[in-house]
A and B are shown apart, each in its own frame.
Chain A
C-alpha cells in the first residue's frame, strides 16, 4: 500500500508563473489536506477536501490559490502568479474518516 505521493518533489517557478502541485492520497483514503511550511515555522493548514468537494478552506489565501480533488485523479493545489513569498514546502496528507492523517514527502516550491 503506497503512501501519500506528491509530485513534483521540487518545483522552481519564476515570479508570475503558475505552480501546480499534485497529491495522490493513500489507497482507500478520501480525505485530503494541504499544509504549507514556511522556513523555521510549523505546518499551517490550508484546505481540506473530499472527492469533488472543498470542506474547509479557512487557511487558503484569498487570492491566487485554489485546490481541487476531482472524482478521478490526484488532488491539485494551484498557485497562480507566484511571488517570492510563496516559496515554501507544501505538504499533503490523507486520511480515512476519523483516523490519523498520513503525510506525503512534500513539494518544495522555489520562486525565483
Chain B
C-alpha cells in the first residue's frame, strides 16, 4: 500500500515554460510535505516544504501547493531551466519525526533547451 504516489514517472517541458509535478497521499496523519531533487549518483537534496496549515509556499522559482481535502500537492517550477532536469521526489511525514519520511517513486523532469 503506497501512501505517497507520484503517478507521472516522467515529464518533459520546454525551457522557460512551467513544470508541474504532482503528488497524492493517502495517510491523513501526514502533516508536513517535502520535495527533494535528485541527480544521478547523488543523494536527494531538499528543495521546498509545506506544512499542512498552509496551502502555498513559495521560494524563488519553486512553489508548492497543498490541497489537504484532496490529499494532493504539486510543485510548480517557473520558468523551467535545463539545470532543473533531475528526479523529483515528493515526501510526507508527521511532524513528530524530522527524518522519517515516506517517499513517492519520483518523477523524472527533463527540461529541453
Contacts and interface: CB of A to CB of B under 8 A. Distances in A.
B103 A98 contact: no
Interface stretch (B14-22, B42-50, B62-70, B71-79): B42-50
A42 B100 contact: no
A99 B54 CA distance: 17
A100 B49 contact: yes
B1 to A, nearest CB: 13
Contacts of A97: 98
Given A95-B98, A100-B98, A43 B103 contact: yes
Most-contacted residue by chain A among B91, B97, B106 (CB, 10 A): B97
B98 A4 contact: no
A48 B34 contact: no
A104 B99 CA distance: 13
B100 A45 contact: yes
A56 B43 CA distance: 22
Interface residues on B, range: 20 to 34
Most-contacted residue by chain B among A4, A48, A93 (CB, 10 A): A93
Nearest to B104: A42
B44 to A, nearest CB: 5
A6 B42 CA distance: 11
Most-contacted residue by chain A among B46, B98, B103 (CB, 10 A): B98
B25 interface: no
B34 A42 contact: no
A95 B34 CA distance: 15
Interface string B78-98: 000000000001010001011
20 contacts: A32-B99, A33-B99, A42-B105, A42-B106, A43-B44, A43-B89, A43-B91, A45-B100, A45-B102, A56-B100, A91-B43, A93-B99, A94-B99, A95-B99, A100-B46, A101-B98, A102-B46, A105-B43, A106-B42, A106-B43
- Nearest first, the 7 closest Cβ-Cβ pairs linking A and B are A103-B43, A101-B99, A42-B103, A33-B99, A95-B98, A42-B105, A43-B103
